[in-house]
Amino acid sequence: MTDHASMPGELDRARFERLARSIGEELRTQTYSQAPVADVNVEEWRQAARLAGRRLGLRVRTEVRYGYVHVRAIDVPLPEWVRARAQRSIDALARSLLGTPAKTDG
């Protein structure tokens, strides 16, 4: 038999877990997440964000600003594609400043 007195707490925990998983997916794919403060319980959202960060092994920072609650991962290494794009931009700038011809693949 189910103890009906415990159900609201269980439902709250299930909702909290879903929130933490959702925030965690955004942290994993884009290193940040946000929600309008009007749509969430801010303290609960921040707790879920910190839990999501811990589960991913990330240090995170939460804040409320401009009507949104935010979380972002800190000390996250840049993805390789971002480093490669930045290097191409630096190389192109150096070529233009130094007057060296562009590299060709042939």
Per-residue pLDDT reduced to its tens digit, 17-57: 999 999 999 998 888 999 999 999 999 999 999 999 999 99
Mean pLDDT of 72-76: 87
State the residue for tokens 């877990």.
17
Instruction: Identify whether 14 is part of a domain.
Output: yes
Res. 5: pLDDT tops 50: no
Q: What range defines the domain where residue 54 resides?
A: 8-98
What pLDDT, on a 0 to 100 scale, did the predictor assign at position 2? 46
Question: What is the tally of structural domains in the chain?
Answer: 1
101 compared with 88, residue with greater pLDDT? 88
Instruction: Identify whether 106 is part of a domain.
Output: no
* CB neighbour list of residue 95: distance below 8 Å, 6 or more residues apart: 101, 102
pTM for the structure as a whole: 0.65
Q: How many helices (H) and strands (E) does the chain have?
A: 3, 3
What pLDDT, on a 0 to 100 scale, did the predictor assign at position 67? 96
User: Of the candidates 49, 54, 41, 39, which has an alpha carbon nearest to the alpha carbon of residue 70?
Assistant: 49
- Tokens standing for residue 84: 């490669």
